[in-house]
Amino acid sequence: MKIPGLHHAETWLRRWRDRWIEQRHVPRYLSIDMLWSKLAVEGYVLVRKCGDHRIAFDPSDQVIGRALILNGDWQRGDSERAIGFLSANGMLAPDGVFVDVGANIGTQSVYASLSGRFARVLALEPSPAEFELLGINVRLNGLTGTVDCRQVAVGAKASSMALALNAVNRGDHRLVEEPGANCVAVNVLPLDAILEGEGIDAAEVGLVWIDVQGHEPQVCEGMPRVLAAGVPLVIEFNVEDYGEAGTRAFAGHLAQHYDSFVDIADESLVVRRVPDLAMLPRVADVLVFRSAARCS
């Protein structure tokens, strides 16, 4: 992986952004396409200054990378709403641990660290390329004393699986049973076992963020101690991946431990019952929690 000097990369990004996006006489849709054709150079890493932090990313990634170029963040509003909601309602343990399952390049880990609400962040990512960028972003932001990175996939049980890599959307790598083209072998461990190995008790965990492209039910199956402790969860609840029966089963499993959820993409944060997850019409990022506060 070729990594240009950080200052050079930021200057390069700023130059093309200013030239194509801020030239008002160029139609915005055209300016975005032109910007992309210049920046999406496979094998290089760009670094963008995003206000209070910097993020290194692959400019060929047409989802997370594109959002970082155009907007300067990846779902930071979701992170702030989730953490803010828990804090306001007395459900976020002070100085707890933030666990990022499917951390990718570390955007949520960085945001959680910057929130000042967590004493430690545990970032788990199996993809070799994304794990390398995760480590770069931890170092870029001076978070080596706060964020611990582990190259591992999370599932229901210890095993080895194939991770199918998506070259276009690098946030859409998926665990598959049978390896195919563009797959890498990865180690899989249940979250309870990972936490035990890190010396972290479930009661110390403030929030678990799970975004693993349809593998969320298996992740939750492998963390009974976390669920029993009522640790709040942010889950990309993907009804399209789970199917009708799988969606009902997953919602039922969560309902054994939690009673409420909010859609964190919705600024109104309307509280709904966990069984209603089975009726979601689309993919949604949801914060699942027990309505009784865990801490004062």
Q: Residue 13: what pLDDT?
A: 53
Q: Which of 46, 71, 96 is the last residue of a domain?
A: 71
Task: Quote the number of domains for the chain.
Answer: 2
Q: Residue 68: what pLDDT?
A: 84
What's the rounded Cα separation, in Å, for the pair 186 and 175? 9
Taking residues 155-169, report their average pLDDT. 85
Residue located via tokens 């290194």: 56
pLDDT value at 166 more than 80: no
Taking residues 147-157, report their average pLDDT. 97
| 224 and 86 belong to one structural domain | yes
Residue located via tokens 């095993």: 159
Q: Residue 19: what pLDDT?
A: 59
Helix (H, G, I), strand (E, B) or coil at 247: helix
Most confident of 18-22, 26-30, 259-263: 259-263
Q: What confidence tens digit (pLDDT) does each residue in 259-287 have?
A: 999 999 999 999 999 999 999 999 999 99
pLDDT value at 179 more than 80: no
Q: What confidence tens digit (pLDDT) does each residue in 109-130 have?
A: 999 999 999 999 999 999 999 9
| 87 and 175 belong to one structural domain | yes
pLDDT classification of 1: cutoffs 50, 70, 90:
very low
Query: By residue range, what is the domain housing residue 60?
Result: 6-71
Closest CA to 106 of 69, 154, 58: 58
What's the rounded Cα separation, in Å, for the pair 227 and 47? 37
| 63 and 117 belong to one structural domain | no
Sheet strands (E) in 105-151 = 118-124, 147-150
Q: Residue 39: what pLDDT?
A: 55
| 263 and 120 belong to one structural domain | yes
Taking residues 8-30, report their average pLDDT. 52
| Cβ atoms within 10 Å, residue 139 | 12
Taking residues 129-149, report their average pLDDT. 95
What's the rounded Cα separation, in Å, for the pair 150 and 126? 8
Closest CA to 220 of 243, 236, 239: 236
What's the rounded Cα separation, in Å, for the pair 256 and 276? 13
What's the rounded Cα separation, in Å, for the pair 252 and 235? 15
Q: Which of 71, 104, 119 is the last residue of a domain?
A: 71
Tell me the one-letter amino acid at 122: L
Which distant-in-sequence residues (6+ apart) come within 8 Å of 257 by Cβ?
A: 227, 228, 230, 290
Lowest mean pLDDT of 90-94, 96-100, 232-236, name the range: 90-94
| 83 and 57 belong to one structural domain | no
User: What is this structure's pTM?
Assistant: 0.85
Helix (H, G, I), strand (E, B) or coil at 272: strand
Average pLDDT value over all residues in the chain: 86
| 206 and 113 belong to one structural domain | yes
